[in-house]
Amino acid sequence: MTLPSEGELFKKILGAEWSRLHPDIQARFDKNPLPGKPLNYRGELSELTCSKLGRVLGYFTMPMIQGALMPYNDAHFLVDIQVYSKENCPSIFKQRIYRLNGRKSVQFTSYMQESSKGEVLEYVGMGLGMKLVLDVRDGNLHFESDGYFWEVFGLRIPLPGLFTPGKTFLCHRNNNANQFDIRIDIRHPLFGTTFTQAGVFREVAA
């Protein structure tokens, strides 16, 4: 089995667009986390916000999908990210630990894989996930959700957009070879921005 890698998946999906990515971003995603040898990143979130609707959704879904939707407003706290693979598994896993100010840390793990149709899918727990569309702008990598779904017994059931937190926008912006920005905005078609995260990260030793 070929070792799973975000970079290899993104190269396949982006095709010729991959060459338009900043070389530092290409090098970052060219690293493959071998089983038992994860990639580790540490950063500081300068912004974590949620709307009133976001707070309700965050608390309601916390038992099912942990911290996928964070029902808090906070700033300037550490986040640890670990990217790893498993033996004989086609998925890439991403564990995040949010070390919130004055609260218990929140741990959240998602995993990403390619569908049989060549789509990029990210699962957040309980069979819930979203399809992601990748784009390169100004040398930076952008992700946009293209629908949420609930997967049951291998069948993906689309979820109506109005009954989701909203469309997800993520930007991985390069600062230098060792540092990058991540910004996530989730926008509901009726209620506007429900969630925002923004921070600066760098790779660290295990």
* 191 touches 47 (CB < 8 A): no
Q: Tell me whether residue 20 is in a domain.
A: yes
Q: Residue 174 sits in which domain range?
A: 6-204
The CATH number covering residue 149 comes to: 2.40.128
Q: Tell me whether residue 102 is in a domain.
A: yes
How sure is the predictor about 3, in pLDDT bands with cuts at 50, 70 and 90?
low
Q: Tell me whether residue 154 is in a domain.
A: yes
List pLDDT tens digits, range 157-166: 999 999 999 9
* 34 touches 85 (CB < 8 A): yes
* 45 touches 197 (CB < 8 A): yes
Q: Please count the other Cβ atoms lying within 10 Å of the Cβ belonging to residue 148.
A: 21
Residue 116 has pLDDT above 80, yes or no: yes
- Which pLDDT belongs to residue 5? 83
Measure the CA–CA gap between 134 and 170, rounded to whole angstroms: 10
- Which pLDDT belongs to residue 2? 56
Pairing of strands 192-204, 39-50: antiparallel
Measure the CA–CA gap between 101 and 146, rounded to whole angstroms: 33
Overall domain count for the chain? 1
List pLDDT tens digits, range 37-84: 999 999 999 999 999 999 999 999 999 998 999 999 999 999 999 999
Measure the CA–CA gap between 21 and 180, rounded to whole angstroms: 13
Q: Tell me whether residue 163 is in a domain.
A: yes
Q: Tell me whether residue 1 is in a domain.
A: no
φ and ψ at residue 9, rounded to 5 degrees: -65, -45
Mean pLDDT for the stretch of residues 117-141: 96
Q: Tell me whether residue 36 is in a domain.
A: yes
- Which pLDDT belongs to residue 32? 85
List pLDDT tens digits, range 9-43: 999 999 999 999 999 999 999 998 989 999 999 99
Mean pLDDT taken over the chain: 95
> Chain-centre distance of CA 171, in angstroms?
10
Query: Tokens for 82?
Result: 């670990």
Q: Tell me whether residue 176 is in a domain.
A: yes
